Structure 1
């Protein structure tokens, strides 16, 4: 049985209440100018948003923001319940996989007119990929109307422990020339040492997206209608990632990762290389006691193209908001206001959405990583939006992900696993395409 995605569960609930919520807000403000805002995040992120909300309330006297912070694991269930009860938050975090269902079911507002008529948004000064994540024309993601404003754009980069590198005699990597996979493995072996609780690994579990895309493969074909995981290049990438632990011994096993995650291992100085996003900077500034920096993701061959993913969370506005203007102003303030963006940047939560602030302030900050430009390279050049954000739902992705750990544990090969899930993935993808139509 296929696992239903959060997006599909959300749509199932909202379908019952569409008549009550699609018509939504009248466009007129309520006398009670309280705006509910719901998100998730670490304690550091919650503190950042409390600061930004206070800035918003100062700029817009008379508006009160009711900030609801929900654990990430519970967020979709909470949102689903609130939509079903016709108590949708005025503004809420949205992930890319939920965009199409929430648009087609009339839950979220089209913000295109607001953006067009508001001087707070300058298209030339906001990362294009950050806006395109939230565009949808009814058929093609990345085109058409804007249905959310970017909380951030999260480029997933490869961090390394400079002190472990120096101790192993490994020069700092060239910030623009990636290692090959063979070079990565060879250097990861130099970084791996010790036993038991004192063991240091060369690398954390590797980004499968980076391996697959840099090997010129993908989960789906170019028009996102056919599953492509049995492509030999995809199989090769998946097996290479698994073999970093199974064969090369340079990454923690699945069992070791369950007992102590690589994020903590990296902080403890027990992992040489690990994928991170900008959202980890603040915690690293507080807890990491060694020098660290960013390097390009490795590639299969010297002529291969570097690749990784960028994600993002959007600020969606409920179509049923009783205070639509205040809600839109809050989403825009959090996304684009200079003081709010500066707060987010200085507390290590994100690369600013504003290009000029990134160039003039963020890249010049005297805080690690020194090679902050790698985050920008990913946003502008080598990053890909996740494949599952191009489809109506991600059931097909869940089929793949549910038991891919069996490859990492060595219970099946990559070829065996991809062959075993291909048909079910295709059925789920076909269902998503039919639902979208």
Structure 2
């Protein structure tokens, strides 16, 4: 009987040690972002080819290394089915916790109430990044009435790529030489395009999507929409002049329209085979071009017709956002704050990256060691450019409007409709959608 108190004491001491150990483990786990000592499992949905998915995974792995109790499962969905599947799943009960979204999709998601506001979390100590780290022009349709619903994890400001061999064979000065002289303007662009055409090559491949025609219109100081998002195309002579300029390049043979190329003949293939002197795009071409050891190219800003060396350009982006109905909103927001932070973006946009960092604290010098190109032009364009859905490119805010505009401009480039008729129809289409 006298042994009972001793046994009781030992049992009590063991219980204290057990509880202390559990408490320590829970504290350690909570520091890693875990809720109640349990692993949090999240899904992230995105589109992309295998190489792009590997880039996304770099950011995911970096976060999970710092937060071992939050697991992120990357789910790939084909780009041609992406928007429909995303909207359907988010309006149901099985939507992804975190997802990529295109610019025109964000207004629909915000209207449906399925995306989580981010401002409060990004202003907290839990966030890896601040919204102030990003250029204002990058938020576009992801911000409504002062509330932020998505952040762009990277950016692709539009520039022109030029093929040095094509210019050399044509005996033409390079765009960089004109730029250094302060003369990289529309006249110089036409001059070198004609020289390249006379040498049996094509000056430019003209593509028909918003990033191209907004960049050309803005390079002339023109506007389709003003700073308040009001349609001004009908009365904006600079915008009309830009439509004529783009069309004349194609009809005069100084540019070839991408929509008229034989099936299977891509813009990138023409550039790499030295058939064309210039193409427009973001950094997405660079990884493929850099693998071609015989290709010599560089970046140059769009030529201007305003007297300024550079004007604003389009910045194609995607947004990463959080499903407001998921069970672990805080953990999901913590992840995207890391994914878009300096650390997260350096993992994804460094050597071999296909986009530019969207965060202001990552400067051109961070990438200068990985390229001998003038990548600083992209960084400069990032600071002044605008995303689709911003007031000056407002058509992304209206479902279906961008595709209707593109179809009308297609007729112009194909020679089935003159520039004045195209301008009139574009204005009418916009007015109809904005009613």
1:178–1:257 distance in 2 versus 1, CA, 3 Å: farther
Which aligned runs of 4 or more in structure 1 are off by greater than 6 angstroms? none
- Residue of 63, 66, 87 corresponding to 1:56: 63
CA contact (8 A) 1:154 1:310 kept: yes
CA deviations 1:159-197 (Å, max 9, x no partner) are: 111222222223332456352222211101212367xxx
Contact 2:225 2:231 in 1 (8 A): yes
Equivalent residue number for residue 164 of structure 1: 166
Aligned-pair RMSD on alpha carbons? 2.8
Which residue pairs with 2:82 in the alignment?
75
Aligned length: 391
Supply the distance in 1 between the matched residues of 2:258 and 2:418 (Cα, whole angstroms). 16
- Cα distance 1:337–1:366, how it changes in 2: closer, same or farther (>3 A)? closer
Is 1:99 paired with 2:106? yes
The Cα of 1:285 is off from its aligned counterpart by: 1.6
User: By how many angstroms is 1:303 displaced?
Assistant: 5.6
Correspondence for 2:274 = 269
Q: Which residues of 2 match residues 302-321 of structure 1 at below 5 A?
A: 302=307, 306-321=311-326
1:365 to 336, 351, 369: 369
Question: For residue 13 of structure 1, what is the aligned residue in structure 2?
Answer: none
| CA distance in structure 1 between the partners assigned to 2:256 and 2:61 by the alignment | 44
Q: Which residue of 2 aligns with 1:225?
A: 230
Q: How does 1:97-246 map to 2 (within 5 A)?
A: 97-117=104-124, 118-122=126-130, 125-131=133-139, 134-137=142-145, 144-172=146-174, 173-174=176-177, 175=179, 177=182, 179-192=184-197, 200-205=201-206, 207-226=212-231, 228-229=233-234, 231-246=236-251
Task: Provide TM-score, normalisation by structure 1.
Answer: 0.81
Distance change >3 Å, CA 85–CA 105, structure 1 → 2: closer
Residue 426 of structure 1 aligns to a residue in which SS?
helix
Q: What is residue 45 of structure 1 aligned with on the other side?
A: 52
Find the residue that maps to 1:154 and give its secondary structure. Answer: coil
TM-fit CA distance, 1:337:
4.8
Greater CA drift, 333-342 or 289-298: 333-342
Give 1 or 2 for the bigger CA radius of gyration: 2
> Where does the alignment leave 5 or more consecutive residues of structure 1 unmatched?
1-27, 138-143, 431-437
| Alignment partners' CA distance in 2, 1:38 and 1:57 | 17
Gaps of 5+ in 2: 1-34
